[in-house]
Every structure is written in C-alpha cells, then in structure tokens.
C-alpha cells in the first residue's frame, strides 16, 4: 500500500507533465520581449560596463605559478584603476608589472600596460570632446 505523500507526489507530477505541453502550445504572452531579451532591459551591456578587457585582449589568461592572478586579470585591474584615478600617471598605474623582456613578447608587461592606459585615456578624451560638441550643437538648435 502506498503512503499518502507518495500518492500526492505522483498526482502532482502527472499534472505538471500534462500541463507543460498545453502551456507551450499557447505561445508567447502578448507584449513579451523578443527571444534573448529580459523584461525591462535593453539589449547590450549595462550603462556602467566599461569593457576594459578590450585593451587587454593580447594578454595571457593562463595562471603562472607564484604570480597574483593572470596577466589578463592584472591588466583589467590596471585599466579600471586608470579609469577611476584620472590624475594618476600611467607608470604609477602599472608599477607592479614586470619590466623584464620575455622572449617572443612584444615589449615588456610594463610597457604594454602603459600603452593600454594611454589608449584608454585617449579614447576617454575623444568621447568627452564628442559629447561637448553634441551639447554645443544641441544648444545652437535650441537657441
């Protein structure tokens, strides 16, 4: 003889299995977003996302013994530090990176880091100039 809890579990399971094909046949509810988009969110990364990894795409993601993190993770950390401390010199941002030449690598870890920081700051200045230009044009049209 089956226990009462087992009977309830069997009935609930049967109902769930019979209800799911019916729910799928109904289709999407009215006003649901297209496939791959969640409610209330627009496509793309959130507004605060900065994608510092773009500047570090050439760095190794392999962890080396005796080092803190991977070359890629250190690079991303340095880029975030550079973005949050605008007045900090690129050399100071990258001070923990090795200045030793590695065979087969282009430049040193330090020089690549400094270059990436300079690229980041150049891009930020360009975006700021474009934003100011758009604001001036909007002022001219309004005034």
pLDDT at 32: 60
Q: What is the pTM of this model?
A: 0.60
**Separation of alpha carbons 24 and 91, rounded Å:** 58
Distance of CA 20 to the CA centre of its chain: 35
In this predicted structure, the answer to whether residue 105 has a pLDDT above a threshold of 70 is: yes
- Torsion angle defined by CA atoms of residues 32, 34, 38 and 44, in that order, rounded to the nearest 10 degrees: -150
Torsion sign over Cα 64, 66, 72, 73: positive
**Separation of alpha carbons 103 and 72, rounded Å:** 18
Instruction: Report the interhelical angle of 71-84 vs 109-142 (nearest 10°).
Output: 40
What is the average per-residue pLDDT within 79-101?
A: 90
In this predicted structure, the answer to whether residue 44 has a pLDDT above a threshold of 70 is: no
Delimit the domains of the chain by residue range. 69-142
Reference 97, options 112, 86, 82; nearest CA is 112
What is the average per-residue pLDDT within 88-106?
A: 90
* Tens of pLDDT, residues 64-78: 888 888 889 999 998
């Amino acid at each position: 003889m089956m226990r009462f809890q087992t009977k309830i579990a069997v009935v609930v399971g049967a109902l769930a299995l019979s209800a799911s094909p019916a729910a799928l046949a109904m289709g999407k509810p009215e006003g649901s977003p297209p496939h791959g988009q969640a409610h209330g969110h627009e496509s793309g990364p959130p507004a605060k996302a900065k994608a510092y990894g773009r500047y570090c795409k050439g760095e190794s993601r392999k962890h080396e013994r005796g080092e803190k993190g991977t070359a890629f993770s250190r690079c991303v950390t340095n880029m975030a530090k550079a973005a949050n401390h605008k007045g900090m010199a690129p050399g100071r941002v990258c001070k923990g990176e090795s200045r030793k030449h590695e065979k087969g690598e282009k430049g040193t870890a330090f020089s690549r880091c400094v270059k990436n920081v300079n690229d980041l700051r150049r891009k930020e200045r360009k975006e700021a100039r474009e934003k100011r230009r758009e604001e001036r044009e909007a002022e001219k049209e309004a005034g």
